Amino acid sequence: MRQRGAAIITALLVVALVAITASFLLAQQSQALTRTAATVARAQARAYADTAVQWARGILYDDARQSNSDHLGEPWAAGLAALQVDNATLSGTLTDEQGRFNLNNLVRNGAVHQGSVQAFKRLLESLALAPDLAGAVVDWIDPDSNLTSPGGAEDAAYLALASPYRTANKPLVTVDELLRVKGFDAKAVNALRPFVTALPAVTRLNLNTASLDVLAASMPELEESQRLKLAKERLEKPFKDLADIKSRYPTIAPLFLNEEADAKSDYFTASVAVASGSVQIRTRALLKRETGKWPAIIWQEAF
């Protein structure tokens, strides 16, 4: 009798163990399926985002074939309105990066460009940031180890930090790199972000798309009323080219017009957002437009 009871108990224990094991395996399988579904959904969202970047390249390519200038009344400036594709929603914008102050203009051919430094200082002051920050950016970019100003910083300043590193001594790749430059924090970078860019070449400022803050920093010779007039007029009648700018605004400094200004752009940023169920993907890509060619992707990041 005892043996039969023990056998029954043993059998029940085996059944219970099998049931527990089966439940565990089913739970594991369910989790694996959920992870697989999430991975597939994320991969699909990334594919949609990549497609949207290609759309942006196509818009810029077509625009270059139809116009020699770039302004806010063109199709590229309207962006991509929310578009439903299968079970995903896509949206995106194109931003003219040459409507912003190019931080890499501060150093040209290894030498400090004083005109750009002064313009950057004015921009910093207009945003209630210390103008000496310009010196720190110059030292971060320039190829030497010499301090350019009291606000500058070279290797000695960075090697003394708790987590030491050296100056880049090369052009900035993105604006976020400013977070590594002496004197900058997230608040300062976020304040600057709408007005500055980091392009891989020296560029001209597009007066059709530059903000009032950037115009004020770049063209201090114009009074505020003149800048407001320019901003209003360019919406109704965009500048066609540099000659058009000179004829309509002869009071702008000739040196700035001849070397720093333009009415067209080569660099744009495509920003794309994809929402598919619980999956959300954002992608940014810096695009460079070249005459007669499909715009090149300088860099692309997803987050």
Domain shared by 112 and 184, yes or no: yes
Residue 165 lies inside a defined structural domain of this protein:
yes
Give the CATH number, domain containing residue 73.
3.30.1300.30
Q: Considering the chain, what is the average pLDDT of its residues?
A: 90
Residue 249 lies inside a defined structural domain of this protein:
no
Residue 18 lies inside a defined structural domain of this protein:
yes
Domain shared by 88 and 118, yes or no: no
| Residue 28 pLDDT | 58
Asked if 202 and 239 count as a contact pair (C-beta separation under 8 A), the reply is no
Q: What percent of the chain has pLDDT over 70?
A: 86
Range of the domain at 30: 2-98+267-302
Residue 157 lies inside a defined structural domain of this protein:
yes
Domain shared by 94 and 130, yes or no: no
Give the CATH number, domain containing residue 125.
1.10.40.60
3-class SS of residue 120: helix
Domain endpoint, select from 131, 164, 193: 193
| Residue 14 pLDDT | 62
| Residue 4 pLDDT | 62
Residue 231 lies inside a defined structural domain of this protein:
no
pLDDT at 36 over 80: no
| Residue 20 pLDDT | 66
Domain endpoint, select from 144, 168, 193: 193
Q: Which residues of 87-125 are buried (b: 16+ CB within 10 A; e: fewer)?
A: ebebebbbbbbbbbbbbbbbbeeeebbeebbebbbbbbe
Q: Tell me the pTM.
A: 0.86
pLDDT at 95 over 80: yes
Residue 30 lies inside a defined structural domain of this protein:
yes
Crossing angle of helices 114-126/133-141, nearest 10°? 140
Asked if 198 and 174 count as a contact pair (C-beta separation under 8 A), the reply is yes
pLDDT digits (tens, 9 = 90+) for 132-178: 999 999 999 999 999 988 889 999 999 999 999 999 999 999 999 99
pLDDT at 33 over 50: no
**What's the total number of domains in the chain?**
2
Triad 115, 117, 123: Cα angle to 5°: 105
Residue that wins the pLDDT comparison between 261 and 26 = 261
For residue 77, which phi and psi values (nearest 5 degrees)?
Answer: -75, -20
pLDDT at 6 over 70: no
Mean pLDDT of 254-273: 96
Rounded CA separation 118/126 (Å): 12
Residue 216 lies inside a defined structural domain of this protein:
no
Q: Name 92's bridge partners.
A: 80, 272
